[in-house]
Structure 1
Amino acid sequence: MRASLAVLAAATLTATALGAKASDLPAPAENEGETERPWVLQITPYVWGTGLSGDVSPFRRGPTIGIKKSFSDVIEDLDFAGFVNVWGRYERFVFSADMLYVSTTDSKVVHGTIPRPPLSVRLDASIDTRQFTSTLQAGYRVIETPDFTFDVLGGVRFWHISNDVDLDVEVAGQKRRISYGEDFGWVDPVIGARAFLRMTEKLSLQAQADVGGFGGGSNSTWSVLATANYTMTDHLSVSAGYKYLDINYKDDGHVFDTTMSGPVIGLTYRF
């Protein structure tokens, strides 16, 4: 039972931690002079090196498990991960789209013996987890100066998580495979703000925060992200910072009540 719970916890962790909400990664701020342009569009592939702590239950009839994992623990089970943020502005109207897809596999092999009658037992468990999360927000730039901007935002965040379990059981040389799959998802309304401060011609600071859920999807969720941004060319910038995300989702036997935090690194191309 202990090994089975470990498999369940590791798979759920890896799926959700690498992104699990994943609120927007703010892209580096617009170059000096671009505030005078009627429109700006920029795309930012990014990485979030997050750990995870909290309580999870990815299966409706499964146990709720307390977990605490570092980013290095999570990355061991990763098959594929993709993260991208799109940020746009037309005059004072702003738009943000953040998308992530994560696929993980966690496998464990357990050997044992049943004492009465004495039988050898082998359990090979594998859990494949896939997660898609998309955050769409729109808003308005309420403050705009050459060195400081402030935007207010509102929108929705979509979640979809699927889990497939394969158990290969061998007892006294007799083999049997058991498979089970389950998926769930929800939508959270979110409201937030984004601020930018220019320090020098090439260096800037940026912060974004949001709060949501309100019982419409999750019970509650909030996040804060701060980055330092460096402009390398007119079209290319890099960002580095830290992100903190808290979410409390409990519905129909599924539980995801966790805190995620870790460094972020992004590379922005500006059109």
Structure 2
Amino acid sequence: MVRLCRSLSRVMEVQVIAIGSLLIVPAAGGQVREFAFDVGSLPKSAPDQERLPDDKEPGEPISADPGRVDPGVPPAGSPGAGWTLIVSPYAWGASLGGDLGLAGLQHNLHLPFRDIFKHVDLAAMGTIEAVNDRWGGYLDAQRVKTSQAEAVRSLPVDLDIRTRRLAGGFYYKAWQIPLPGKSAFGAGRDISIEPTAGLRWTHMRARAGIAPLAVQTTGSAGWVDPFAGLRVNADLSRHWNLFTQADLGGFGAGSDLSVNAVAMLGYRTRLMGRRTILRGGYRFLYEKYDQSDFTKRGRFIWDMQQRGPLLGMSVLF
């Protein structure tokens, strides 16, 4: 009412007074005119309506922030959103421990996490995932080169180990338990239980050198393991997410046995305008492989556990 009186006063250049449902407007010659109106017909203000910033004009897009949902952009993985690509570089600070056999030499290897950076010569890791509604697929790649000095039968041995892995699989969101509210990216919160299956290719190359005896030997092995397991994605809150995956593989098709387990806590935000999930967690991988080596007299044995913290991020396109 006050705004209406002020607006009329500015236009008519006279003081307009409101009493109840009457507007009193001074007219020429000292006369006063009264106008009746229905207060309920006036538009009501909407204090909860989103207001434009002072530096924005109507129709101008508002800059995105971590809690804002972009209009016209369906949430990733929601029906009708189409394909969403997720690129996830990460670092895995894994300790290495177990039995390594090469050309008749067998050694119990132990490389703790606190020493990992002293021995890692090269490390490159990342995952690419594509998801459309309930279906998704992923490729996880790793390439690591380590070198360290060990002792075998009181002799100093230099060990170089190169590991390459490529795992690819598909998953299906078989069960989705809805939760109240939405995530920071606009999708409805839920707990998703996802059976998964795929193949994991592993290639190992090891070189052992005994300097006092001027002996050096190199061996390599590669195998493909089928695997099957379960993934769980749980929206803990608007920003926080928990992802876990566990799978078993090998079954004698490649290795005798492989066990993979990972758990990561993620935080949804934005980096350079892109939907991004910052992740941290822990991963465990066990592989048992035992086959004749290139000498045909010895065995190539890889009976190893790798475990340690994960740090990374996932960027959605």
Match of 1:104 among 146, 151, 161: 146
Matched, 1:45 2:82: no
- Aligned-pair CA distance for 1:68: 3.2
Match of 2:173 among 116, 122, 141: 141
Give me the identity figure in percent. 24
- Aligned-pair CA distance for 1:168: 4.3
| Secondary structure in 1 matching 2:147 | strand
- Aligned-pair CA distance for 1:87: 1.3
Residues 108/213 of structure 1: CA separation in 2 closer, same or farther (3 Å cut): closer
1:151-203, Cα deviation, whole Å (9 max, x unpaired):
2111111011112344544xxxxxx8544322111111101121111121111
Distance in 2 (CA, whole Å) between partners of 1:84 and 1:97 is: 8
| Secondary structure in 2 matching 1:160 | strand
| Secondary structure in 1 matching 2:252 | coil
Q: TM-score, normalised on structure 2?
A: 0.63
- Aligned-pair CA distance for 1:205: 1.0
Matched, 1:127 2:159: yes
Q: Which has the higher strand share?
A: 1
Q: TM-score, normalised on structure 1?
A: 0.73
1:26 is matched with none
Residues 241/89 of structure 1: CA separation in 2 closer, same or farther (3 Å cut): same
Higher relative contact order, structure no. (Cα contacts within 8 Å, ≥ 6 residues apart): 1
1:75-123, Cα deviation, whole Å (9 max, x unpaired):
21111100101111123221010001112233579xx9xxxxxxxxxx9
Q: Which amino acid aligns with 1:184?
A: A
| Secondary structure in 1 matching 2:131 | strand
Residues 225/125 of structure 1: CA separation in 2 closer, same or farther (3 Å cut): closer
Q: Which amino acid aligns with 1:209?
A: A
Q: Which amino acid aligns with 1:82?
A: A
> Unaligned regions of 5+ residues in structure 1, if any?
1-30, 113-122, 170-175
1:115 is matched with none
Distance in 2 (CA, whole Å) between partners of 1:243 and 1:108 is: 26
Q: Residue 77 of structure 2 contacts residue 134 of structure 2 at CA under 8 Å; is this kept in 1?
A: no
Match of 2:131 among 79, 86, 89: 89
Q: Residue 256 of structure 2 contacts residue 289 of structure 2 at CA under 8 Å; is this kept in 1?
A: yes
Matched, 1:250 2:290: yes
| Secondary structure in 2 matching 1:72 | helix
| Secondary structure in 2 matching 1:235 | strand
| Secondary structure in 2 matching 1:35 | coil
1:17 is matched with none
| Secondary structure in 1 matching 2:165 | strand
Matches within 5 A, 1:151-166: 151-166=194-209
1:50-77, Cα deviation, whole Å (9 max, x unpaired):
22332222x13222x2233311223211
Match of 2:253 among 216, 230, 254: 216
| Secondary structure in 2 matching 1:218 | coil
Residues 61/108 of structure 1: CA separation in 2 closer, same or farther (3 Å cut): closer
**Which structure has the larger Rg over C-alpha atoms?**
2
Distance in 1 (CA, whole Å) between partners of 2:245 and 2:225 is: 17
Match of 2:193 among 150, 174, 180: 150
2:52 is matched with none
2:39 is matched with none
Match of 2:311 among 258, 265, 268: 265
Q: Which amino acid aligns with 1:95?
A: G
Distance in 2 (CA, whole Å) between partners of 1:90 and 1:180 is: 48
Superposition RMSD on alpha carbons, in Å? 2.6
Q: Residue 150 of structure 2 contacts residue 159 of structure 2 at CA under 8 Å; is this kept in 1?
A: no
